[in-house]
Every structure is written in C-alpha cells, then in structure tokens.
Amino acid sequence: STGPFPSNRKGEELAASLPPDYVELVRGGGPDGPEIDGIGVLTLDQVYVAGSHWMLAEMPDIGMLGVAVDGEDRDVWFLFYDGRPPQRLSPSFREALTKARSIE
C-alpha cells in the first residue's frame, strides 16, 4: 500500500532496516532532508512504502531510490516512474546516489 510510514513503527526499527550510510546522512541533515545533485533525499519521517520498497530519495520526473521492505537485501534500487524494471544500484546509499546521476 502507498502512503506515509505507519506511525506505530518506531524510527529506530525503520532505521535498522535501511542502509547505514543513508541513516547517517539523514540524521545529520535538517528537517527537509538534503538535496544532492538534484536528488531529493527523504528524512526518516518522510520515508514511505510504495509497492514492495521503502522510498528513500527522488529524482524528479525520473523515479525513486528505494530498498526492499522484506528480506535481507538492503541494496538500493532505482524504481522508474515510466514502468521500466527496477535497477539495482548498490548496497551503499552514497554509491547509489552517484550511480543514479547517470540514469536518464
């Protein structure tokens, strides 16, 4: 289901499910989350579920960066708005941001 993060799940529990470098990045940022080279990074309270992924960042008009909700895989994926199959980027959020910049 799409929508805001369920309020009954604690932020720490969510943080444990996400790439550690993503959590480190957003914990050090302001209330709106950083924007890195045109990619808007969501804060922990802005993270939401869409389909089977937690959405972590957005490239306007192109897609979102997310991680799978279930399973051990914490790799960051690029999920395209135009319906293309998701593309695995990296287990590192920072590296995934770098790779996402070359996506068109």
Q: What is the pLDDT of residues 6-52, one digit of tens each?
A: 443 556 677 778 899 998 888 876 666 777 888 999 988 889 999 89
What backbone phi and psi angles, to 5 degrees, belong to 85?
A: -60, 145
**Mean pLDDT, the chain, whole residue set:** 84
Higher pLDDT, 34 or 4: 34
Give the ranges where 1-104 is alpha helix by DSSP (H): 11-16, 20-27, 93-100
Alpha-carbon torsion, ordered 89, 52, 79, 85, to 10 deg:
90
pTM as predicted: 0.82
Q: 95 or 33: which carries more pLDDT confidence? A: 95
